[in-house]
Amino acid sequence: MVIVAGGERRQDSVRNAFDRAARDADVVVIHDAARPLVSHAVIRRTVDAAAATGAAIAAIRPNDTVKRADAAGRIAETLNRDEIYLAQTPQAFLVDVLRDALTISDDATDEAALAEQAGHAVQLVEGDPRNLKITTPDDLALAERLLGAAAAGPSLRIGNGYDLHRLVDGRPLILGGVMIPFEKGLLGHSDADVICHAVTDAILGAAGAGDIGRHFPDTDPVWKDADSVDLLRRAAALVEAAGYAVVNVDVIVIAQRPKLAPHASAISARVAEAIGCDPSQISVKGKTNEGVDSIGAGESIAAHAVALLARNP
């Protein structure tokens, strides 16, 4: 890195830096330090366009109607916003084009204006609204929020969960925290609630917080005959501590018998209570396995769950 002294004007500073540029350079890129959120994609587009055309700048279209004012602050003209672009940096130039531009002594707010005056066409490429220029305290606050969101990771995350247990005599059948009248129940270290187990894995997975076996291992006697609604409640607390809230959960229960439909609303309510959301955010559906494998033979029940989480503001 080479640091050079700035000049009185922007173009003076650029000229000082240009004089120190590598002699074998093909394209010179100029960027405002006040735009710290520029993306690699914007830089790449600008450089590629400059290499192909001689000069290019990143720019964005305005979303608002654009007015030109007179000296008294009144509207003098409404401009066609389809022809208006808001210039950003980076601005990139072939070496000879920038050398020509910097021979112009007139004041200019950017190098593209100097290149235009020197007779060169300047190509516009797609910029990025997030490539904002920090000029005011509000700009700085917005940049900090954008950087914080980027550091925190994606705002939405999806997780999958699955569980299966065998049906046996002498056990109660508990699904989603609801006791289901049936002659058999699910066998497991806890109460073997496949719905709660699948949902637990889905929300933990979406938050990147491991799985049910990591937090509630079946080798630990403390979880023997545990209430799986309580395990789900504990998992939801871990998800909240990780900075996420549940947007919705979709569950499919695969069982030849019993029919799930009469109990779906009660299950949604119990699962929602454990997670800390509204029952409308929990969908529970039942499917048979058309007589195929152990589920179809009525020997087991399985559940699949998908959870969508959103990062808490």
Q: What is the C-alpha separation between 251 and 69, in angstroms, rounded?
A: 59
Q: If DSSP codes are grouped into helix, strand and coil, which group holds residue 280?
A: helix
The pLDDT of residue 153: 67
User: Is residue 132 within 8 Å of 64, Cβ to Cβ?
Assistant: no
- What distances in angstroms separate CA 82 from CA 39, 86, 94, 144, 280, one per listed residue? 25, 11, 28, 31, 44
- How far is it, in rounded angstroms, from Cα 144 to Cα 312? 17
Give the pLDDT confidence score for residue 145 in this predicted structure. 84
Regions of the chain where pLDDT drops below 50: none
Write down the pLDDT at residue 1. 82
CA separation (Å) from 14 to 21, 59, 141, 231? Answer: 10, 20, 28, 62
pLDDT given at position 71: 94
Q: 39 with 46: CB under 8 angstroms?
A: no
Q: Which top CATH class is 156-311? A: alpha beta
What per-residue confidence (pLDDT) applies to 151?
A: 66
* CATH numeric code, 10-152: 3.90.550.10
Tokens of 39: 């993306």
Spatial contact of 311 and 153, defined as CB atoms under 8 Å apart: yes
CB 57 within 8 A of CB 32: no
What pLDDT is stored for residue 146 in this prediction?
83
Give the pLDDT score at 144. Answer: 87
Q: Where are the domains of the chain?
A: 10-152, 156-311
Instruction: Specify whether the CB–CB gap between 153 and 208 falls below 8 A.
Output: no
The span from the CA of 228 to the CA of 190, in Å, is 7
101 vs 149: CA distance, rounded Å: 39
Provide DSSP, 89-152. EEEEEEHHHHHHHTT--S--SSHHHHHHHTT---EEEE--TTS----SHHHHHHHHHHHHHHHH
Angle at 10 between CA 103 and CA 125, to 5 degrees: 85
For residue 19, the number of C-alpha atoms closer than 13 Å in the C-beta half-sphere is 13
> What's the predicted TM-score (pTM) here?
0.59
C-alpha to C-alpha distance for 234 and 30, rounded to whole angstroms: 52
